Amino acid sequence: MNTALRNASFLALVLAAPIAALAQEGALQVVGLDGTTSELTLSAIAALPSREISVTSEKGEAATYGCAKLSDALDVALATSRPDLKGKDMLDGVIASATDGAEVLFTLAELDPAFGNAEVFLCNQKNHQGLSGNEAPLRIVVPGDKRHARWLRQVMKLRLVQVKPSP
């Protein structure tokens, strides 16, 4: 086996391991600001209030996704709500991580239904079927974004963070 093929095979195994672990465990890891880790099972995500969204992919293909709002998933996973975002809370955000190392950041203020109410979705279905291939098991879709740079495939972890204020 040549070196390039061996390296590609190794890379495929390394990238497949987190996907297999998520599918086997059936859970999305969620880390709170205090470092507390919880898991949100795929069945718990499916049980969240859901809606279908029709979007056009970056390749121009129409698709319908079955999704929950990312803010709802965070509320359930962390068993908390934040009714009065203000002050230093405006520096809080969530980093969504994918199996390929890609990450995106959303502020909690933009996700909060009482504040920004941005439509950011955690999707588990595409065209009325479970996600498959390079999208599975979960995908973040942001229909209002003009570019799809924050649309994240193979989501495996959500981590709350707080930016330190300027001195």
Phi–psi pair at 135, nearest 5 degrees: -100, -25
- What pLDDT is recorded for position 19? 39
Structure tokens of 97? 């991580």
14 inside domain: yes
Q: Is residue 142 assigned to a domain?
A: yes
Whether residue 167 lies inside any domain: the answer is no
Whole-model pTM: value is 0.81
Q: Which domain holds residue 62?
A: 3-162
Residue 72 amino acid letter: D
- SS3 state of residue 11: helix
What pLDDT, on a 0 to 100 scale, did the predictor assign at position 80?
Answer: 61
CATH classification of the domain holding 36? 3.90.420.10
Q: What is the pLDDT along the chain (167 residues), one digit of tens a residue?
A: 443 333 333 333 333 344 344 444 468 999 998 999 999 999 999 999 999 999 998 889 999 999 999 999 998 887 665 667 778 888 899 999 999 999 999 999 999 888 888 999 999 999 999 999 999 999 999 999 989 999 999 999 999 999 888 88
Q: Could you give the number of structural domains in the chain? A: 1
What are 68's two structure tokens?
């929950």
Nearest to 158, CA basis, from 92, 105, 100: 105
